[in-house]
Structure 1
């Protein structure tokens, strides 16, 4: 991953991985159809683009999961950005192709770079945080608390 390589070269604030998905998205597809699901994804994607900084990278990851690489970002800033995204999604009024309107929520997981040489470990920590947010009731942000290589805890 590009950001891991850059961290080896320079010592910025680090970076964070934010992973989220729309809560109960399968119900949207099952109730309104896949065209409606696609419309929801498009509108949510447009909204989160406004919540991120121009330097951040946004990817569709899997079915409806979204992965955001927050560059030059410490855990505190990542938490603020994630909460802004969560609130933005919750406040959206989504227009479906059949004229119906809908609102959704999202669960978000964050993992701060802690010196991993393998990006898959970082992604796994973000994914675990997302799973924890969903298990704790959805529509919330959970930050990974993994120890960094120097033994301190990321917060």
Structure 2
């Protein structure tokens, strides 16, 4: 078995393992499951097609038209993989435009079987890049750029957590594809695509595991992990919705969930640029300010005043929107974390009593 055949086998086996894993996962939602599984299936198909063209290259017994057809399929499927990644994270927009782009690209690749514009099979049955091969490179690069932008906006929904993992995933993809473009004999593109897809899936799962399903804020597990690693001067801000049980009893749990979402959005709007926002209980939230965002206690007071003002504006449109009690404590690196949280809770409950 040649080195390249081994690379293809590893790529296919990795993709099969990922498909099995994703289908057995209880974390991934249906759209993501379908998107990632189809994506890995495309990697299997394109890796096999590239291997077939490699085996056919310069082989006189292999039909030239079939050699060209396999190349066409490989080139046509490549951008659709990126579309499936976007579909997996639920960010696909302008579906008809995307479909038109994929069909147009496939048509250009198909015409190349006769025109030789993108690629051609010469008289010796060898694959050659056409004069306009750059069109394929441009289309694929554009698709990857769009994917990275969509992934970045997706990460913003989760407060840009693990952004370094996203950059690492696309870096592996970039290196493999650039190497393949520079030297046609370096056939590691689909292995690098598979590795990127695995890293992107891990990135997606980490975001999901760290987030609260209802509010999209970071969850208690992430909050406790952050507290355990806290080693810089900052402020811990605790929130608790006043009389939330009465809201559920009076208007129902569906309305209560809607209130949780609205207050979560208000917290994100006021604090996300300065820190990480968490849902740590049923109607309890927390914000831990970033290292570079915290100046002094006045920073916290300004943010809290802004939050209360925003709730006041929202309450003018929705009279049933409850008040929110807020407490905070400054962490200077010396006090025990448990004492910081206790002091913030104490201030919050003092404010809650005054709101009754």
Structure (1 or 2) with the greater helix fraction: 2
**Structure 2 counterpart of 1:4, from 212, 224, 230:** 230
Q: Which residue in the other structure is 1:112 paired with?
A: 330
User: Which structure has more strand as a fraction of its residues?
Assistant: 1
Aligned-partner SS, 2:355: coil
Residues 59-138 of structure 1: pairs in structure 2 closer than 5 A: 59-72=278-291, 73=294, 74-93=296-315, 102-116=320-334, 118-137=336-355
Relative distance call for 1:94 and 1:136 in structure 2 (3 A) is closer
Q: Deviations over 1:3-52 (max 9, x none)?
A: 632x2xxxxxx210111112111110010111110000011111221111
Q: 1:44 aligns with which of 251, 259, 263?
A: 263
- What RMSD, in angstroms, separates the aligned Cα atoms of the two structures? 2.2
What is the TM-score normalised by the length of structure 1?
0.72
Structure 2 runs not aligned, ≥5 long: 1-226
Query: In structure 2, the residue corresponding to 1:30 is in which secondary structure?
Result: helix
Q: Please tell me whether the aligned partners of residues 18 and 109 of structure 1 are also in contact (alpha carbons under 8 angstroms).
A: yes
Alpha-carbon separation, structure 2, partners of 1:134 and 1:120: 21
Task: Give a deviation string over 1:79-103, Cα, whole Å, max 9, x none.
Answer: 11011112212321498xxxx8632
The SS at the match of 2:230 is helix
Residue 57 (structure 1) aligned with residue 57 (structure 2): no
Map of 2:253 onto structure 1:
34
Q: TM-score, normalized by length of structure 2?
A: 0.33
Contact 2:234 2:332 in 1 (8 A): no
CA deviation map 1:124-151 (0-9, x unaligned): 111011011112235xxxxxxxxxxxxx
Q: Return 5+ residue gaps in structure 1 as ranges.
A: 8-13, 139-155
Displacement of 1:55 in angstroms is 4.2
| Preserved CA contact (<8 Å) 1:48 1:89 | no
**Which structure exhibits the higher relative contact order, with contacts defined as CA atoms closer than 8 Å and separated by 6 or more residues?**
1
Max radius of gyration: which structure?
A: 2
* Matched residue SS, 1:85: helix
Cα gap change, 1:59/1:111 in structure 2, threshold over 3 Å: closer, same or farther?
Answer: same
The question of whether the paired residues in 1 share the 8 Å contact of 2:236 and 2:331 is answered with yes
Asked whether the 8 Å contact 2:326–2:348 carries over to 1, the reply is: yes
Equivalent pairs counted in the alignment come to 127
User: 1:114/1:27 Cα in 2 relative to 1: closer, same or farther (>3 Å)?
Assistant: same
